[in-house]
Structure 1
């Protein structure tokens, strides 16, 4: 699978690229529920490593050809 996010970059919830996950509020809910991509807390700021975002998206992949009917 192609990497969508730059592996050498830190992303923040307000970055436009993060809209692929939905709203800033949705990301906050996921963090509260301990679901979604891994994140890092820097003081009061939240950051996401590009490698973690790509890994999360890869884990969400569904291959319909392997589904059992």
Structure 2
């Protein structure tokens, strides 16, 4: 599967690319519930490493044919 996010970049919840995962509110709920992709706390800001986002999306893959992912 092709990577959606640049693996060498830190993404912030308000970046337009993050809309693939949902709203900033949804990301905040996931962090609060210890769900969703791994994140970094940089001072008071939250960041997501591109490689973690790609790994999270790849783990969510469902093949309706039942073939190995």
Aligned to 2:16: 16
Q: Following the alignment from structure 1 to structure 2, what is the Cα–Cα distance between the partners of residues 63 and 51?
A: 22
Q: Following the alignment from structure 2 to structure 1, what is the Cα–Cα distance between the partners of residues 39 and 10?
A: 10
Q: Could you tell me the TM-score, scaled by structure 2's length?
A: 0.94
User: 5+ unaligned residues in a row in structure 2: which ranges?
Assistant: none
Aligned to 1:50: 50
Q: Could you tell me the TM-score, scaled by structure 1's length?
A: 0.94
> Which of the pair is proportionally richer in helix?
1
- Report the count of equivalent residues: 67
User: 5+ unaligned residues in a row in structure 1: which ranges?
Assistant: none
